[in-house]
Amino acid sequence: MPKTALRIRIYGDNVLRRKAVLVKSVTAECQETLSRMAITMYEGGGIGLAAPQVGISQQLIVVDIGTGLYKLVNPRIIKRQGTQVTQEGCLSVPGICINVKRAKKIWLKALDADGKFVDIQAEDLLACAFQHEIDHLKGKMIVDYAKLFDKMKIKKKLEALERRSRDTSNNEPALKQCRLKI
């Protein structure tokens, strides 16, 4: 059966605020989910996607900033260095861009799609994408980084997204998007 994209959950959907559970073993089902997440990310023009964004509350992420696809299970950041501020968008929060301050360089441990332990060092955009996805696993989103003034500016947009998240037919025209959809 050909693999297909999954439906992206939009801001307002409770699954995005839930803490994703640890994956006990990397099963064929996990691998299937990771593959479909990658398809969903590419179709959406994103550079990363976390399982809660497709309604699956498990610690699975995919990232590809154009330098190769990472499929990771139970990712953990073990060290951070420096800071960077990036204007981030998110496939689950279409039409909204937020400046987010994160570590410039990170070291992380995870399992790969074969269930093998991997150590990854990432900096700049790649580090940003991993941190953004790992936030999703904790139920955290870019809007949580908005400063008070920005929060006021995006309030109406967020309310519109919440209404849209309840409409599963979800065929609204695309909003003006952020360059980086993570």
Catalytic residue positions, numbered? 133
The shares of helix, strand and coil residues in the chain, as percent rounded to the nearest 5, are 35, 25, 40
Closest contact distance (angstroms) between CB of 136 and Ni ion is: 6
Assigned token pair, 110: 């995870």
Of the pair 109, 139, the CB lying nearest Ni ion is at 139
Of the pair 91, 103, the CB lying nearest Ni ion is at 91
Closest contact distance (angstroms) between CB of 117 and Ni ion is: 25
Of the pair 146, 182, the CB lying nearest Ni ion is at 182
Question: x/- string (CB under 5 A) for Ni ion, residues 88-107?
Answer: --x-----------------
What's the rounded Cα separation, in Å, for the pair 41 and 19?
21
DSSP label at 181? B
Select from 4-12, 27-35, 82-90, 119-127 the region that touches Ni ion (CB under 5 A): 82-90
Of the pair 27, 91, the CB lying nearest Ni ion is at 91
Assigned token pair, 34: 């990771």
Closest contact distance (angstroms) between CB of 48 and Ni ion is: 7
Q: Which residue is nearest to Ni ion (CB)?
A: 90
Closest contact distance (angstroms) between CB of 140 and Ni ion is: 10
Q: In terms of C-beta density within 10 A (0-12 exposed, 13-18 middle, 19 or more buried), how is residue 134 classed? A: buried
What's the rounded Cα separation, in Å, for the pair 138 and 108?
16
Report CA Rg, the chain. 16
- Collapse the DSSP code of 106 into the 3-class scheme (helix H, G, I; strand E, B; otherwise coil) and give the result: strand
Element (H, E) at 92: none
Select from 55-63, 83-91, 109-117, 122-130 the region that touches Ni ion (CB under 5 A): 83-91
Site for Ni ion in 33-62 (CB under 5 A): none
Which residues of this protein are in contact with Ni ion, per CB under 5 A? 90, 182
